[in-house]
Amino acid sequence: MTPTTIIVIAKAPVPGRVKTRLCPPCTSDEAATLAAAALDDTLDVVAATPAVARVLALDGARGPWIPPGFVIVPQMGAGLDERLANAFAAVSGPALLIGMDTPQVDRGLLTSAMQTLHQPDVDAVLGPADDGGYWAIGLREADPRVFIGVPMSTAATGAAQLARLRSLGRCVAMLPSLRDVDTFADARAVAAIAPTRRFARALAALPHGEEIAVG
């Protein structure tokens, strides 16, 4: 086991506050159900991955859906850049942060990412997302300069984050690219990648869900 903390940054799955880009065709309740399933899948995988600590940086109220073994810290900051910086500041030592939008992530991928972070010539790891963002970032040590001022939630966020890391002299290792769930087309594609996960089952349970899930 590498001495690494895994951080999951997530919103509580409350209708009208999560996965709003799935509406339509989803209702706000259906979108929240899909968000909850994606979060459950993510937390289950993190719980099964060897780590020195597991932290949930949560926006919203905690609930019974949080598995044992997670330290809960509130998200702090006006924008996502500040929230990411503060999530890393809440832990000590190397950390790998992921979101709740890639329910297809697995233990092997997270373990490999942490091992890569501990290679002698690596200061950071970055997992690009197909939409131009990123699904994971790992740092040997917290540094708010990595995040503050980086434009978030754009098609250029991943490139901007990589440029910031390099401008700070960080040697960055790239992780595999994943598709995250933003749109309904994303939901269908991700469900097809991991058809046995809760997310795929939740999608299939929607009205006409089986038809939707296979496209």
Asked if residue 123 is part of any domain, the answer here is yes
Asked if residue 62 is part of any domain, the answer here is yes
Q: With pLDDT > 70 as the criterion, what percentage of the chain qualifies?
A: 95
CATH number for 180: 3.90.550.10
Total domains in the fold of the chain: 1
Asked if residue 214 is part of any domain, the answer here is no
Residue 137 pairs in a beta bridge with 97, 126
pLDDT of 67? 93
Whether the model pTM is above 0.85? yes
* Type of residue at 34: L
pLDDT of 192? 96
Neighbours of 108 (CB within 10 A): 10
Residues of the chain with pLDDT under 50: 211-215
Q: Where do the DSSP E strands lie in 75-121? A: 95-98
pLDDT of 215? 40
Cα–Cα distance measured from residue 113 to residue 126, given in angstroms and rounded to the nearest whole number: 9
